[in-house]
Chains A and B, each alone.
Chain A
C-alpha cells in the first residue's frame, strides 16, 4: 500500500492506505476527524463538504491519493482556536441549525462561496447544493448574507 502525507487542519499525518480510499473514510475512520458527515457517499448531498487547498471538495468523492501533500481543512479547522470564523458566528446569530447534521458541510460550502465572491447574490446562494433535510434553507441564506456583511 502506498504511503501518503496528508495535512489536515494544519496537522501532518503519514498513512499507509490504498490509493483509491475516499478521503471521507480516511478522515473519519483513520484520523478520527468526525466533522465531515456521510450523507450519500456519491457527491450529491454535500454533508461531507470540506476544503482542499482552500477550495470546496466533497471528501466522499476525492481519493486519498489526490489529497496527498495538500492542505485539507474540515469544519474542525475553520475556527481560530476559540475564535469562530465569521460564518460560524453568523450561523449562531441566525440560529440556523436544527439537527445540525448537514451544517458542517453547509458552513464549509458558504465559506467557499464567500471566498469566490464577497457579496453573494440570492442567485449565487441558490447554487449551493447542500441538502438540509430539516429544511433550514432560509436561515442558511440569511446567515450567509450576514456573514458577507461582517467580512
Chain B
C-alpha cells in the first residue's frame, strides 16, 4: 500500500539503500568472482602438477563445450533427463496423496510409521538390483527407482506441511459448513503447498542422482551414467577429461533445474514472504 503512495521507491535508486537490481548485480558479481577463483586455483594446481591426474580447467571446460556437440553424449544426456523428467511427476502423484492421508489421519500415520522409518534410511541406490529384477526393460527399473527415491522428500514434506496447517484456518472453513474433503482440498493442500514444493525441489536433484546411478550400474544402455563408464574405461588424460566434463554437465543441469524451480517458487508463493 505504501509502495503505491511513495513514488521515490519506484524510480531512481534512493540514497543509502541500493536498488533491488543493483543488489542483485552485486550478488551475481560475487558468485562470478567465486567461480573464477575456483577455476584459477584449479588451473594453477593442474599446471603446477600438484595433482598429476587432473586435467587443467581450461582443457576441461573446452571439453565441456565439445561434448555439447557430440551426438553420443547429447543422446545420453537426453535419455538421463527424460527418465528424471518422467519420474518426478509420477513421484508427485504418488507421494502427495499419501502425504495428505498420513498428515490428516493420525491413525494411519501411526500405523505406518514403523514401516516408513524403516524404509526411509535405506539408500535407494542399494535397491538397484531389486529394481532391475522386478522391472524390465531397464528404463522401467530406472524410472521406478527414481519415483521411489523422489517420493520420500515429497511425502515427508507433504506430511509436515499438512500438520502445520493453522487450525483456525481449517475451523473457519468448517464453520461455514464445509466437509472434510473440502477442507483438505481448499485449506490443507494450498496451505501445505510451499512445503510440498520444497519437497519437489529436493526430489528433483534426487531424480538426477538416481538416473545416473542406475545407468552407471547397468552400463551399456544409455544415459550419462553409461557415458561415464565408457569414458572411464578409456585410458590416459583423454578419459579423465571426459569424466570431468560429464560431471560438469551433471552439475550444470542440476544447477539450472534448481534455479528455475527456485524462481518459480518465489513467484508461486509470494504470499508466504510477507
Tell me, yes or no, whether A binds B.
no
A contacts, CB < 8 Å to B? none
